[in-house]
Structures are given as structure tokens and as C-alpha cells.
Structure 1
Amino acid sequence: MHRIAAADRDLAEMALRLAVSIREGKADGVPLTERTKTGDLSDWFKAPFGHDPTNPSHRLVYRFVDQVPEIVEVVAVGPRQDDAAYLMAGLRMERIEDPIQRSLAERIVHRVLNRFSSAPDRRPGQ
């Protein structure tokens, strides 16, 4: 989240507002599944967001703690590109068991986040 805030404060604020909306029941996410490259994230949800609502550039990955809708745990906020947000979630939750897949995921996340943080502001009209 710090990288996003440093690169685009508006995008970081969107992520925070989205997390609050989910907690308040005003927004819903989509359940994730188990995939080889991310590991089993079937107990997590994704919620898209970004400057362009028709093509959201980022994902917020979250779950409800102890199935309580008022307690939302966000594990990753990141670009949709190359599944970076899902890979971050899989790495942080230690769901990627295969060492080769884990190494590949780490490299992809590093590359995408570095590219994002060094890119110019991409808001419409900027």
C-alpha cells in the first residue's frame, strides 16, 4: 500500500474507501480459487478498483475474519497486471508451496511493483 500511496495517493484512498465499503456491506468482492501460481486463496475475495471503473487496474484481496462481516482483513493491494495482487497474497499467506513457483511469484511481484512505482501518474486527464 505504501508504494501505491507514494505513486498515486488517489488510488491508495480508493483502496481504503473500498475496504470500508466492504466492511459496511456496501461493496462485494468475488471469491478467489486455488491456482498453481498463487496457491489456495479460496478463502479470500478480490475487489477491483482503479481510476477507470470500466477497466479497474488494481485489486484488493481480503477476507472476513472468523466469518464476521465487520472485520475485514486485507492481505494485498496491488496491480492487476500479471496477477501481482494475487501473487502478493499467495506469498504473504504462504500459500505457494512449490519453491520454483514461489521464486517466480517473488520475481513477478518485484518487477510489477517496481514498474508501477516508477511509472508516471496514470489518472485520466493527467
Structure 2
Amino acid sequence: MRVSLKTLTFNKILTKAPIVSLDGQPVLLFNQQHPSLLVALEHKQVKVFSECRNGYCGACKTKINSGSVKYHTLPLIELESDECLPCCCTPTSDLDLNLSPEGADVVTRPGITTAVFALEQTKS
């Protein structure tokens, strides 16, 4: 069997799953396992106040430091360009949110965490 490059085609464009960070600290790789950003954050034990499931819209409003999101349900409240409602959106690019990583199940790599901690200590 002969195969030429002309016969090889790719129908889907592969895209990188967005990395979601909290104040610059990577927390999760958003790979569409979760229906919304809020569910993904809750899965990683990120403290996000929300009343979405109790019928109050707007409580989970979060400031975006960088990145972008898309909404699968239109928000019921008005948002600034640097805000999102994690309950009804998913990231479309790497996303850095103005949320504390404290207590969250953050992504760490051996050596990197220690080096960053040491660097922060020398800056203080």
C-alpha cells in the first residue's frame, strides 16, 4: 500500500486546552470535562462564592486578569469587559482570574514550587 502526503488530511484542528490560573498560579487545565468554569473551580477546591443554584445571579462574578471566556448561557446581569460569571462560561484561552489560590488544589512541579517560594522569600 502506498501512501502519499496528498492523501493525508486532517478534518479537526487541534487546539490546546486552556490553563486556568488564580492570581498567576496555575490551577487546572480546562479540557471540557466540566460543564462550566465554576464546576471546574469547585472540583479543585477553589473558594468561589456562588448562589447560582439558589436562583441568585451575579454572586459568582469574578474579575479576569487576562484571557477570555465564552458563555453557553447569556448572563442575567451586566458585566464589565474584565469580569465573568464562571457558572455559565468556559475559557477560550489561557485564563487568569482574580481569585486566591489559597486552599486550592494547585498544579505544582517538583523543583519549580520550591524555586518560586525561595524567589518570593528573597524579594520580601
Same topology, TM > 0.5:
no
Q: TM-score, normalised by structure 2?
A: 0.24
Q: Greater relative contact order (Cα 8 A, min sep 6): structure 1 or 2? A: 2
Between Structure 1 and Structure 2, whose CA radius of gyration is higher? 2
Decide which structure has greater helix share: 1
Q: TM-score, normalised by structure 1?
A: 0.24
